[in-house]
Amino acid sequence: MMLKDNPEIKLPQFLGGSYSSLDRLYLPHNKLVLSEVKLSNSGDLELIAKPDNGGPEQWTDRLKLKKDDEHKKKFLWDWFNERIGKTIDSIYRSEFNFEK
């Protein structure tokens, strides 16, 4: 199953970048590259993406599990960290299973 089809996960949409007068507010997922994974104060995974052409914008959005599960959150943390530098589109279309 592809990550984007997993019913247990609500994936980030990355709909807005950092807001200055020259930033693009929208880039398609095939033009955004995962640059960092963080743990937010609320415990959600925070994914940070940047344009593949090296632009100054930064998109930050949270990935949420439908049911809070620390084991699955840790699994996702590791899984996303292995994919830093890949496009959001290719990550969302990757084969994914919690039972690696």
- The tally of domains found in the chain comes to 1
In a domain, 61, yes or no: yes
Residue 14: the pLDDT is 83
Q: Which helix (H) or strand (E) holds 49?
A: strand 45-51
Would the CA dihedral through 88, 89, 90, 92 be positive or negative?
positive
Q: Which of 82, 71, 99, 94 is nearest to 11 (CA)?
A: 94
Q: Which domain, by its residues, includes 77? A: 3-92
In a domain, 36, yes or no: yes
In a domain, 26, yes or no: yes
In a domain, 98, yes or no: no
Q: Could you read off the pLDDT tens digit of each residue along the chain, which spans 100 residues?
A: 999 999 999 999 887 655 555 556 667 888 899 999 999 888 889 999 999 988 888 888 999 999 999 999 999 999 999 999 999 999 999 999 987 5
